[in-house]
Structure 1
Amino acid sequence: MTERKFTAADDGFHFDQMDDDWWATETAWFSFHHPERRLGGWFYTMARPNIGIVSGGAWVWDDTACLPWEVPFSSNYTALPIPKDQDLTDIRLPTGTTIRMLEPCMSYALGYDDSGRNLFSADLRFDGVMSPEPLTAAGSTFGSAHHFDQFGRVHGHIILLGERIDIDCFGMRDRTWGRRPENRPRRAGYITGMADADTGFLAVTNIEGDVETAAYGFLRRDGRTVSLAEGTRTGTRDPATGHMSSIEMRLTDQEGRKLVARGEPVSKIVINRHTFIDINSLVRWDCGSDGIAWGEEQDMWPMHHFERMMRANRKGG
């Protein structure tokens, strides 16, 4: 797959690069968390220019619940109009999310307004601690779409159910544009962890039967980001819920640097996204000599695959 750099032009929409395919799609995602409160959060935007709609919104969860109608905040719109005469460099979306580019490719002001319900608002800033890293494997769940990932420091505050909560963490953002049909999903994982500005990892996995291997990702150590050469995800699942209860990542980058990270999911939210579900966990990682990291595990399942597993669990095998 041809590697390309993320440039200032990529902070905006890429609608002029897309053909007239119904499934032409562009996304922008930012994450944040508060480890002591076991609280995680997302802003997610998905635009489909050829049918004129934008979907997504914001989610905030903790260890009290995992269903979207029980967590502290969940707002997932499906078909609102794309704002005219605005770009992702400075946009107020009808989903409630605002994004303003402060420094090309690196820094963004993020906000959220829940339209007068007074349940959740946000005033945050994302500052990249590394350059955006391009997708290098067409065999991952992102296929041949343009895709970039970037760790950054997220700081500022949110107001959740009337309470102000200060945020200062290392979060992830990604950007994707290309073809994304709703019937495409397959089982996959998107796993992140970051101990400090110079130390972290990303692995995007493919799953064949009981074998889960890294299709794409990187290790960041001593401030240097190197693509993965290989990796695996293993762990245990709670048979009653199907959710991961422990995770182990074994990763090797293209310079031979290795990482073993053992993760404990501390809270989660189950997000229903058309034909698949994303069981998204906030995870505390023990990375050995690399220290304690925090990040996420997105455990993605086509719905009929997850149903099949749970039906087998209820039958006892």
Structure 2
Amino acid sequence: MTATADRPVIDFGPLAEPLHPDIAGPGDPDYRDNAYFGIWSHTEDIFGEVHVSTSPNAFRWARIELNVKGRTVEINEDCPKDSYTSEHIDFDTNGRLTVRHPDLEVDITYAPRFQPMDYSPKKVMGGLISDKPLRHYEQGTSVTGTITMYGEKVDFDGLGFRDRTWGFRDDSRQWQEYMTVWGTFDGFDLTAMKFMDTKGTTIADGFLNQADGTQRRVTEMNYTYTPAGTMKHLRLILDGTEERIVERTRSMGGFWLPMGPQKPEGSSCFHAYDDFAELDAWGNPGRGIVAYGIQRVL
């Protein structure tokens, strides 16, 4: 990425963390190397996500789901324990996504907009081992390329969000509920998340990244809901002092997000949905994802 007077050179840094294929064995808790990439067009109803999860000792998958103007394709397949390249999906955490499938071909490059957002110090996502919490980073991206779905090719120009997480993890054992918001806007990116663990403890954290290179911290966040239980407003506090309001103005659609293997009868299961939405952040229009997760126990 080329530097400008008001924008320093930025790379993916921890979001390109190498995999850890030999860090855990059969007798250890589940260890996961996860990476996620959500994208949305600037103006059209084109959006989707890639979610890859590899592990030396736990369930693995590589998944992509895209919506191009109301038509969707989902590919969900095994991921090798030492790679983010599966049978049809090749996800490069340094800036490229390639898919070769009879129903879907993708050639996309992406670059970071601002600096990484480090959620690790506050331990918002916890971990299976108390003194080894999950490492979790997020970063907004600019995205360009082509998508060919069912033989019809479209050019893609938009924005998105990357994340990278690694550590000992089992969502069904760690979390009771979460709600997160990612948004890209003209001149800034916003991310905020609130988790409740299985003991009822709630932690919130988030970041506002700005084009001048400054990064502010979300220190408090609360929601209002529509009659259907979806987010209407996010009220957040920046750096403990400044209140801001984000409104979810329109849902473009979304996807159920697999969080692990098939569970047997009587087992709890973590249930997640990603809602791609148009947002308004204190008067600034943008797009992003409102993500919902909750423990299913019936």
Q: TM over 0.5, yes or no?
A: yes
Q: CA deviation at 1:50?
A: 2.6
When the two chains are superposed, the root-mean-square deviation of aligned CA atoms in Å is 3.0
Is the partner of 2:233 in helix, strand or coil?
strand
In the TM superposition, structure 1's runs of 4+ consecutive aligned residues that sit over 6 Å from their partners are: 211-214
CA distance in 1, matches of 2:248, 2:201: 16
CA distance in 2, matches of 1:8, 1:206: 22
CA 1:9–1:187 in 2, change beyond 3 Å: closer, same or farther? closer
CA distance in 2, matches of 1:58, 1:31: 10
Query: Are positions 1:287 and 2:274 aligned together?
Result: no
Aligned to 1:72: 72
Which amino acid counterpart does residue 128 of structure 1 have in structure 2? P
CA distance in 1, matches of 2:15, 2:163: 15
Q: Is the 8 A contact 2:259 2:271 kept in 1?
A: yes
Q: CA deviation at 1:35?
A: 5.1
Correspondence 1:10-49 to 2 at 5 A: 10-18=16-24, 21-34=28-41, 36-49=43-56
CA 1:39–1:125 in 2, change beyond 3 Å: closer, same or farther? same
Q: CA deviation at 1:214?
A: 6.2
CA distance in 2, matches of 1:142, 1:154: 30
Identity of aligned residues (%): 18
Correspondence 1:1-317 to 2 at 5 A: 7=13, 10-18=16-24, 21-34=28-41, 36-51=43-58, 54-61=60-67, 64=70, 72-77=72-77, 79-82=78-81, 92-94=85-87, 96-100=88-92, 107-114=94-101, 118-136=102-120, 138=122, 140-143=124-127, 144-184=133-173, 185-196=175-186, 198-206=187-195, 215-223=204-212, 224-238=214-228, 244=230, 246-254=231-239, 256-264=241-249, 265-274=251-260, 275-289=269-283, 291-304=284-297
Q: Is the 8 A contact 1:276 1:301 kept in 2?
A: yes
Q: CA deviation at 1:32?
A: 0.8
Q: Is the 8 A contact 1:251 1:259 kept in 2?
A: yes
Is the partner of 2:95 in helix, strand or coil?
strand
Which amino acid counterpart does residue 201 of structure 1 have in structure 2? L
Which amino acid counterpart does residue 296 of structure 2 have in structure 1? M
Bigger helix fraction: 1
TM-score of the superposed pair, with normalisation by structure 2? 0.79
Aligned residues between the structures: 269
CA distance in 2, matches of 1:273, 1:248: 26
TM-score of the superposed pair, with normalisation by structure 1? 0.74
Q: CA deviation at 1:34?
A: 2.4
Residue-by-residue CA offset, 1:257-277 (whole Å, 9 max, x unaligned): 442111132212223434222
**Contiguous gaps of at least 5 residues in structure 2:** 1-11, 128-132, 261-268
Residue-by-residue CA offset, 1:32-75 (whole Å, 9 max, x unaligned): 11254423211111011135x631310113685xxxxxx61112
CA 1:45–1:80 in 2, change beyond 3 Å: closer, same or farther? closer
Q: CA deviation at 1:215?
A: 1.0
CA 1:41–1:142 in 2, change beyond 3 Å: closer, same or farther? farther
Is the partner of 1:183 in helix, strand or coil?
helix
Q: Is the 8 A contact 1:203 1:215 kept in 2?
A: yes
Residue-by-residue CA offset, 1:200-254 (whole Å, 9 max, x unaligned): 211111359xx9976111112343222211111222142xxxx62x521111222
CA distance in 1, matches of 2:47, 2:204: 26
**Contiguous gaps of at least 5 residues in structure 1:** 1-5, 65-70, 102-106, 308-317
CA 1:149–1:9 in 2, change beyond 3 Å: closer, same or farther? closer
